[in-house]
Amino acid sequence: MVQLFKDALRGRDFICLNDFTPEEISHMINVAIQLKAEQKAGIPHPILQGKTLGMIFTKSSTRTRVAFEVGIYQLGGCGLFLSSRDIQIGRGEPIKDTARVLSRMVDGIMIRTFSHQEVLDLAYYSSVPVINGLTDYLHPTQVLADLMTIKEYKGRIKGLKLVYIGDGNNMANSLLLGGTKMGMHVVVASPKGYQPGEEIMNMAQQNALLSGGSAGILEDPAEAARDADVLYTDVWASMGQEEESETRKKVFVSYQVNQDLLKVAHPGAIVMHCLPAHRGEEITEEVMEGPQSVVYEEAENRLHAHKAIMALVM
């Protein structure tokens, strides 16, 4: 399966899920599931033998770094961890210079950073595929792993209701785009002033017209969560917003995934969180450790989904 689709996607950047068709996203998910099964069975898959991934981090990371570094190793290649302290970006080198130099030495570049424009600029000047490991605007690699997890637990993606509770951040944005691409009914419950922007909602609604899904925003978490198949949440203050933490705790105090919210969701609903979690804030300990939580399986799937991305585009 991997070999069949390498040529179809090879050389493509992975920046936003809206850049891909539902069929292409489905292929990525299927390849991820295949690679996971092979890894669990001890079957090696050195698809990227001899290839190198440059990994630029200006934001700290646990899951993204480990998933890409272990993933490229399991695919037979080598990953180079490049923090902003280690390379010249941190000393003011233009992103276009970094792109043109790195892409002459590596076979792919993954970047995890604050500014989405940095990723776009890196991709524009790079001659090798660029993978968006996270920006303040989008987190598409996480959502590919999320969609994979949903398919594993629910057997399908299309037609399911996914409800995101909390800040309309990069996760909300990417879930809106990825979910509606795949025909899901995506609802974001956020307070006014913290909701996803008009651009994202317009793209999500356009996706929904084509896929049969839907996209909406509500302020009431309980109303949003009614009959949800998937309940999803994230921290109230993202990296770089630490100074807003106390203010956000007051604003989001009623936007918590807890047992009361689970009661209005579908009885078989699964609970997801991209991690790290602040237990007792956006999610309770009881729900996080409860039988409906798939948080750790979701985290593991970062490895397999990221491997699928690299195998297909590099």
For 70-88, the pLDDT digits (tens) are: 999 999 999 999 987 777 6
What the block records as the tokens of 118 is 């940095």
pLDDT value at 174 more than 70: yes
CATH 3.40.50.1370 domain extents, the chain: 2-138+302-313, 142-299
Task: Share the mean pLDDT of the chain.
Answer: 95
pLDDT of residue 6: 57
What mean pLDDT is predicted for residues 165-183? Answer: 98
pLDDT of residue 7: 72
pLDDT band at 2; cut points 50, 70, 90:
low
pLDDT of residue 274: 97
Determine whether 136 is an active site residue.
no
Determine whether 16 is an active site residue.
no
For 2-138+302-313, give the CATH class: alpha beta
Let me know the angle formed at the C-alpha of 146 by 19 and 7, rounded to the nearest 5 degrees: 45
pLDDT of residue 232: 98
Active-site choice (65, 116, 142, 304) = 142
What the block records as the tokens of 66 is 């480990």
pLDDT of residue 244: 83
Integer Cα distance of 138 and 16 in angstroms: 7
pLDDT of residue 20: 97
Active-site choice (139, 185, 304, 306) = 139
**Domain made up of 142-299: CATH architecture:** 3-Layer(aba) Sandwich (3.40)
Integer Cα distance of 18 and 216 in angstroms: 17
pLDDT of residue 92: 74
Distances (CA, A) of 133 to 136, 179, 292: 11, 18, 27
Amino acid at 174: S
**What pLDDT digit, counting tens, does each position of 274-307 carry?**
999 999 999 999 999 999 999 999 999 999 999 9
pLDDT of residue 3: 56
Q: Which of 237, 312, 309, 307 is nearest to 72 (CA)?
A: 307
What mean pLDDT is predicted for residues 169-187? Answer: 98
Determine whether 78 is an active site residue.
no
Say if CB 313 and CB 10 are below 8 A apart.
yes
**What pLDDT digit, counting tens, does each position of 125-163 carry?**
999 999 999 999 999 999 999 999 999 999 999 999 999
Q: Tokens 């998910």 — which residue?
A: 29
DSSP result, 228-272: -SEEEE--SS-TT-GGGHHHHHHHTTT--B-HHHHHHS-TT-EEE
Integer Cα distance of 288 and 262 in angstroms: 12
Determine whether 226 is an active site residue.
no
Distances (CA, A) of 197 to 154, 170, 192: 29, 11, 11
pLDDT band at 122; cut points 50, 70, 90:
very high
Say if CB 37 and CB 272 are below 8 A apart.
no
Cis before 291 (ω within 30): no
Q: Is the pTM of this model over 0.85?
A: yes
Integer Cα distance of 20 and 14 in angstroms: 9
Instruction: Give the single-character DSSP code of 90.
Output: G
Say if CB 236 and CB 281 are below 8 A apart.
yes
Cis before 221 (ω within 30): no
Integer Cα distance of 100 and 187 in angstroms: 40
pLDDT of residue 242: 75
pLDDT band at 48; cut points 50, 70, 90:
very high
Residue 299, classed as helix, strand or coil, is helix
| Alpha helices in 44-83, H assignment, sequence order | 63-74
Active-site choice (27, 63, 65, 112) = 112
pLDDT of residue 86: 75
pLDDT band at 168; cut points 50, 70, 90:
very high
pLDDT of residue 116: 97
Active-site choice (27, 185, 248, 302) = 302
